[in-house]
Amino acid sequence: MIRKENTGLSLTRQCKLLKISRSSIYYTPVGFDPATIDLMHEIDRIFTKYPFFGSRQIAAYLPQSGFSAGRHRVRRLMASMGLQAIYKGPNTSKKHPQHKIWPYLLRKLAITRPNQVWCSDITYIPVKNGFLYLVAIMDWATRKVLSWRLSNTLDASFCVEALEEAIAKYGTPEIMNTDQGSQYTGTDWITTLTKAEIKISMDGRGRYLDNIFIERLWRSLKQEAVYLHEITNGFQAKRIIDGWIGFYNTERPHTALDKRTPDAAYFEQAEIRKAA
């Protein structure tokens, strides 16, 4: 994905163009053989189509597409991919046993305006001979994707970079809601939020519906863009994701937004609040 030699672009410039974390290029992840990569991609396709499937159901479903793997292997691969069936609660990334878990603040809260609540999540992006991780920051009320980043690791830095970009462009929300993954309970993420005086909210176990909007975003992205291409590298992944998110924000109407686009809903409500 990153070309460290024979290029006129610095590593920093390449990372900015790709919207990936610079720190991730110095990390060499544990390798997977090609057969395992293919299996992981198929698991992701099945999970995207049936997000309520756990490892047992996915293992049983795999032979329909010519793959075979036991439940325990599927479960291990799902963990490395950041996947967990929605009925078991949000667990996009592994919970760190020593990190503080913050309380859930959205119970019975009417979320009606831009920058009232933001949310964030991470998903797996299949690439030929490998995979990437994608994080997004979304405005809850308007479904607008405010920022995103790609990474070849689950290191927290790419999440923090996406958060900092969203804050720089759109100001600060009142509340940031995430799952209890280690990326969101770690020092860098929490410090960025507390310095910006943003209240921290984390989903409790069994509250998968609180992440449903961004889960729908992932399914639409994969079904309408990612799975329609054989993505060969990070540059192509960035181009495809960037194009689709641009379409999603500016052209794709939502019934929940009175058939407006996320951009229209976000900026119209923001203007109304300024005029009030």
What is the identity of the amino acid at 124? Y
Structure tokens at 241: 């994701």
**Measured distance between the N- and C-terminal CA atoms of the chain, rounded to whole angstroms:** 47
Strands 199-202 and 175-178 turn out to be parallel
- Cβ atoms of residues 139 and 112 within 8 Å: no
Question: Residue 233 has what pLDDT?
Answer: 87
- Cβ atoms of residues 179 and 121 within 8 Å: yes
Please state, in angstroms and rounded to a whole number, the distance separating the CA atoms of residues 237 and 119.
23
Question: Residue 27 has what pLDDT?
Answer: 40
Cβ-proximal residues to 5 (8 Å cutoff; 6+ apart), any chain = none
Please state, in angstroms and rounded to a whole number, the distance separating the CA atoms of residues 267 and 33.
46
Tens digit of each residue's pLDDT, the chain (276 residues): 555 554 566 666 666 666 665 544 434 445 689 999 999 999 999 999 988 899 999 999 999 999 999 999 999 999 888 887 665 433 444 554 556 889 999 988 999 999 999 999 999 999 988 899 999 999 999 999 999 999 988 889 999 999 999 999 999 999 999 988 889 999 999 999 999 999 999 986 545 556 788 989 999 999 999 999 989 988 899 999 999 999 999 999 999 899 999 999 999 876 666 655
Q: Distance between alpha carbon 8 and the CA centroid of its chain, in Å?
A: 31
Question: Residue 126 has what pLDDT?
Answer: 93
Structure tokens at 266: 């976000």
Q: List the 117-127 sheet strands across, edge first.
A: 145-151, 130-139, 117-127, 175-178, 199-202
Please state, in angstroms and rounded to a whole number, the distance separating the CA atoms of residues 85 and 253.
28
What is the identity of the amino acid at 195? K
Question: Residue 219 has what pLDDT?
Answer: 93
Question: Residue 21 has what pLDDT?
Answer: 58
In which region does residue 111 sit, left (phi positive, over 0), alpha (psi from -120 to 50) or beta (all else)?
A: beta
